[in-house]
Amino acid sequence: MRAAVLDDAGLTVREWPEPEPGPGEALVSLTKVGICGSDTHFVIDGTAKTAFLPIVLGHEPCGYVEALGPDTEGPAPGTRVAIVPLITCGECDRCRNGKSVLCKQRLCIGADCHGAWADLCVVPVSQLIEAPASMPDELVAVATDSVATAYHAVATQGRVREGSRVAVWGTGGLGLSAVGIAAALGASEVIAVDLREEARGWAMESGATAAYHPDEALGEITKLGGVDTALEFVGKSVTVEGAVRSLDDGGRAVIVGVSFEPAAAGRIMTFVLREREVVGSYGADRSEVELTLDLMASGKLTLPRVVGDVIPLDDVNEGVHRVARGDTGGSRIVVDIRD
């Protein structure tokens, strides 16, 4: 089969042995698989590493069940499925207490085991969710990681609900989905903040009630009295500070952007006297991927810009570099495995 394989020399598409499903596993024939920001770290800058090399990358997949392993129950061959990228043990304290994204035995496909930029991949059947019939493959693919990660940040970590006032700092990639999710959950204000006029325009198309350049955002949000939830998708000290300072009393800042930058987020007394909270947000669990698919399939969550360009597998290395430059045409570039 063909696969996009990362080794010391970089990412190349080459012939690769077909995987075989063992007990409890399924062989999936892939159709569309997204390119994630983490892939740029594996391939280009090395700020995140895979567990081993060479490795097949790709962790945002849609495909069809091709076969099940011996003595394995699961979706019948031919079923169209989304694959949940985080594999968790389901038995540890964290898994049993609704915190499986923090499972100590957590593995991510395409990072800790072989992934889905390939004709075929093998995953535990517990990772499979039947794809809603109304959703095209590329939307199913991005729902598993990009949109579900935003859902975890907005709904679970950010506790956004009907009537919440929300600010989203950084609306290029995941933040753009966060805007749509906050609107779908009934937020009364969804304020988008981004340097780029294009990204502010996308946010308005996705359900934002206002969009501002970072230089004017804080002044405008302060006029409203601040927000209940501020989501940060950039990973820079300046935007973390902006997110925290945009909070009303008792507000919650959710940090999703990743970097090694240190962050200072304002005077200590403002956290005490105003009971401000700052929390992190990582990934999404299976139930959140299911909720994300439901929201999208029902039409409550429409994300007109979530899929940007669709490219063939042969161009995936260039696609990863385009993601790193922000040249995507939307939230995500998606790889068409069968093109």
Closer CB to Zn ion, residue 58 or residue 226? Answer: 58
Closer CB to Zn ion, residue 191 or residue 289? Answer: 289
C-alpha dist (Å) from residue 23 to 20, 26, 124, 283, 329: 10, 8, 9, 27, 41
Q: Select from 223, 225, 243, 224 the least CA-distant residue to 233.
A: 243
Closer CB to Zn ion, residue 75 or residue 283? Answer: 283
- Round to whole Å and give the CA distance between 267 and 277: 13
- Round to whole Å and give the CA distance between 207 and 270: 31
* Nearest distance in Å: CB 267, Zn ion: 35
Closer CB to Zn ion, residue 66 or residue 145? Answer: 145
* Nearest distance in Å: CB 126, Zn ion: 12
* Nearest distance in Å: CB 194, Zn ion: 20
Closer CB to Zn ion, residue 95 or residue 128? Answer: 95
Beta-bridged to residue 55, according to DSSP, are: 6
* Nearest distance in Å: CB 332, Zn ion: 10
- 21 phi and psi angles, rounded to 5 deg: -75, 135
3 state DSSP class of 321: helix
* Nearest distance in Å: CB 91, Zn ion: 6
Cα-based torsion angle of the residue sequence 304, 307, 308, 309 in order, rounded to the nearest 10 degrees: -140
Closer CB to Zn ion, residue 145 or residue 194? Answer: 145
| Lookup: tokens for 239 | 């935007």
- Round to whole Å and give the CA distance between 179 and 150: 9
Closer CB to Zn ion, residue 5 or residue 36? Answer: 36
Chain residues binding Zn ion by CB under 5 A are 36, 38, 88-89, 92, 95, 103, 145
Contact 206, 179 (CB under 8 A): yes
* Nearest distance in Å: CB 192, Zn ion: 22
* Nearest distance in Å: CB 51, Zn ion: 15
- Round to whole Å and give the CA distance between 101 and 263: 24
